[in-house]
Structure 1
C-alpha cells in the first residue's frame, strides 16, 4: 500500500498560539488591575426617581407646546431609547400638572414607565409617532373578553373609539379603555381634539387620572395607589417602577 510521505509540521501554529495566549493573559491582567467604571445603581423604592428637571414652558400658547421641550428631550432620548416626541409628551404632561396640580407631584419618569410597558412609547406593532404626537397605525389592544389575565368589558362606545362594537379594547400609546377616555381624555397638542392615539393627549390624560387616583404621588402610598388604579396588578406596578427608576437615573431599562 502506498503511504504518502509524512510532512514535517511547521512550528508556526504553536508559536502563534503561544503569542495569543500571552496576549489573553495580559488583557485579563489589565482588566483586573485597571479600575472599572461602576454601573449606575437603579433604586428599587417608590416613588421612582424624578429624572432630569423639566424646564418651565408656556403650555398655554398655541399649537403643540410639547415641542418647546425639544432642547430638553433630544440630548437624552437616545440614551433612554425613548422617541423625542414621546419624551416631549411626558415632560409636557408633567409640566402642565406641576402648574395646575402641584400637590400631585407627578414626575415624567412615571409616565415614561407606563408608556414603555403599554406600547414601547407608541411603537407597538410597528407604529411610529408623527411630529404632532399621533401614533400610526392606531394601537389597539386585544378584545377584553374575560380570557385569563383579561377583564371582561362589554362595548361601551359602540365601537366609535376602539373600532369594536362587541367588546372594549385598550387604545393608543397609554392604552386607555373607551369608558375611561371619555371621562379623562383631553387635548394636549393644540389641535382641538382629544385623541387617545396622540401621545401628547394620552400622556396628559394619564397624568390627570393618576393624580386623581393617587393624590400625593411624592409619597409611596400615593404612587402605589395611583398605579394600582391604572392597572390592578402588582407585577405591572413593579415593572413600571423598574422602568421609571431606570429613566430616573438616565439609563434605558
Structure 2
C-alpha cells in the first residue's frame, strides 16, 4: 500500500481500463549522478502544462519517471498519464492546501495525510518510523505529492534528482518511486489485470482506480477534467 487516502469501494471497473499513453515522452539521458535529469523535459512539459492543468515541474517528474521505467523495465509499460492521474487524485499535483513546487521538485510545505487510525474508510497503520519521515510518532500518515506511507517509502524510495536525499516530499523522488512500486506490483500495466493490480496495491479501491483512470484518460487526450 502506498497511499493512506480514504476511498470507498465502488462498482468494479470494466476490463480494458488502462488509460491511453498520451503524448510520447522524448528520449532523455538516464542520469543517476548529475543534476536534476527531469529538467531535460522542460520544453515538453511547458508546451502541455496549461492545457493539462499540471505544473511544469510536476509534469517533468511524471515524464522522466515514466521514461526511466520504459528504459529500465520496458515490460512494465507504465505511461506518464497513469502517474499524473495518481498525482492529481493524491495531492492535486503537489499543490494541495496551497503547497508549492520548488524548481528542484521539492513540495513545500510538506503534504501529510490524515492519521491512519482505521476510521473514515482508512486502514489502521501503527507508527512504523517513530515519526522520522511523516512527523507523527503515534500513527503513520501518507506523505508527499504521491502520498507514500513510511513503510512503503522505506522499500521503494529512490533519489531521482541526484541531491543525495531520498525524499518523499520531492516530486522527482516520489514520481520515480511510484513508478517502481507500480511496476513491481502490476508487472505489465498495458493489461487490465496488471493495471488494476498496480492501482489496487497503491490504494485498494475501485473508486480510486476509476478516478485515476478518468484523469489519466483526460491527460492522454490533452486536457484536464
TM-score (norm 1): 0.82
Number of matched pairs: 210
Which of 201, 208, 221 is the equivalent residue of 1:229?
201
Deviations 1:208-229 (A, max 9, x none): 0000000001111100110011
Which one has more relative contact order, counting CA pairs under 8 Å at least 6 apart? 2
Matches within 5 A, 1:58-77: 58-60=29-31, 62-77=34-49
Q: Of 49, 53, 60, which aligns to 2:20?
A: 49
Report the 3-state secondary structure (helix = DSSP H, G, I; strand = E; otherwise coil) of the residue aligned with 1:98: helix
**Map of 2:118 onto structure 1:** 146
Structure 2 counterpart SS, 1:67: helix
Cα distance in 1 for residues equivalent to 2:178 and 2:66: 10
Query: What is the DSSP-based 3-state SS (H/G/I as helix, E as strand, rest coil) of the residue aligned with 1:103?
Result: helix
- 1:118 maps to 2:87: no
* Residues 35-58 of structure 1: per-residue CA shift (max 9 Å, x gap): xxxxxxxxx942101110000111
Take 1:133 and 1:243, find their aligned partners in 2: how far apart are those partners?
A: 22
The answer for the alignment partner of 1:136 in structure 2 is 108
Instruction: Give a deviation string over 1:139-193, Cα, whole Å, max 9, x none.
Output: 0000001112111001000000000000000000000000000000000011011
Q: Secondary structure, in 3 states, of the residue corresponding to 2:77? A: coil
For the residues of structure 1 that align with 2:149 and 2:71, how far apart are their CA atoms?
27
Structure 1 unaligned segments of length 5 or more: list them: 1-43
Q: Which residue of 2 aligns with 1:181?
A: 153
- 2:178 & 2:69 partners in 1: Cα distance? 11
Moved over 3 A (4+): none
Whole-angstrom distance in 1 between the partners of 2:17 and 2:48 = 23
Instruction: Tell me which residue corresponds to 1:17.
Output: none
The structure with the larger Rg is 1
Once residues 35 and 56 of structure 2 are traced to their aligned partners in structure 1, the CA distance between those partners, rounded to angstroms, is 17
- Which of 196, 199, 205 is matched with 2:177 structurally? 205
**1 CA distance for matches of 2:98 and 2:123?**
26
Does the CA contact (< 8 Å) of 2:16 and 2:191 recur in 1? no
- C-alpha separation in 1, matches of 2:139 and 2:191: 36
Q: Distance in 1 between matches of 2:84 and 2:16?
A: 17
- SS of 1:145's equivalent in the other structure is coil
- Deviation, 1:138, is 0.4
Alpha-carbon distance, 1:201 to partner: 0.3
The unaligned stretches of length 5 or more in structure 2 are 1-14
The offset of 1:59, in angstroms, is 2.1
- Within 2, Cα distance between the matches of 1:224 and 1:152? 23
CA RMSD of aligned residues (A): 1.0
Which position in structure 1 is the counterpart of 2:10? none
